Amino acid sequence: MKIDTIFTASEVATPENRVLKGKEMKNLIVIKNGAVAVDNGKIVDFGKESYIRSKYSGEIIEFEEKTILPGFVDPHTHLIFSGTRENELIMKLEGKSYLEILKEGGGIQYTVKKTREASRSKLKKEAKKRLDIMLRNGTTMIEAKSGYGLNRKDEIKSLEVLNEIKHDIDIIPTFLVHAVPEESTEKDYIDLCVEMLDEIKEKNLA
pLDDT by residue (tens digit) across 96-117? 998 899 888 898 889 999 999 9
Same domain for 94 and 193? yes
Domain boundary among 24, 41, 70: 70
| Structural domain total, the chain | 2
Same domain for 91 and 192? yes
The residue-averaged pLDDT of 69-88 equals: 94
Same domain for 132 and 149? yes
The residue-averaged pLDDT of 179-202 equals: 94
Same domain for 43 and 79? no
The residue-averaged pLDDT of 122-144 equals: 98
In the Cβ-directed half-sphere of 92, how many Cα atoms lie within 13 Å? 9
Same domain for 87 and 61? no
CATH number at residue 85: 3.20.20.140
- Share the mean pLDDT of the chain: 95
Residue 103 is predicted with a pLDDT of 85
Max CA distance (Å), the chain: 67
Is the separation of the CB atoms in 132 and 95 below 8 Å? no
Same domain for 196 and 94? yes
Between 68 and 109, the more confident residue is: 68
Residue 154 is predicted with a pLDDT of 98
Same domain for 78 and 110? yes
What domain range includes position 171?
Answer: 74-202
Same domain for 84 and 51? no
Same domain for 6 and 66? yes
CATH number at residue 16: 2.30.40.10
Same domain for 66 and 97? no
Enter the pTM of the model: 0.85
Task: Using alpha carbons, list the distances in angstroms from residue 13 to 34, 67, 74, 129.
Answer: 9, 7, 18, 28
Name which of 13-22, 78-87, 94-103, 161-170 the model is least confident about.
Answer: 13-22
Give CA–CA dist 50/45, Å, rounded.
13
Residue 4 is predicted with a pLDDT of 98
Same domain for 58 and 117? no
Instruction: Give residue-wise pLDDT tens across range 25-62.
Output: 888 899 999 999 999 999 999 999 999 999 999 999 99
Same domain for 66 and 79? no
Domain boundary among 20, 49, 70: 70
State residue 152 phi and psi, 5-degree precision.
-60, -50
Give CA–CA dist 119/33, Å, rounded.
50
The residue-averaged pLDDT of 191-198 equals: 95
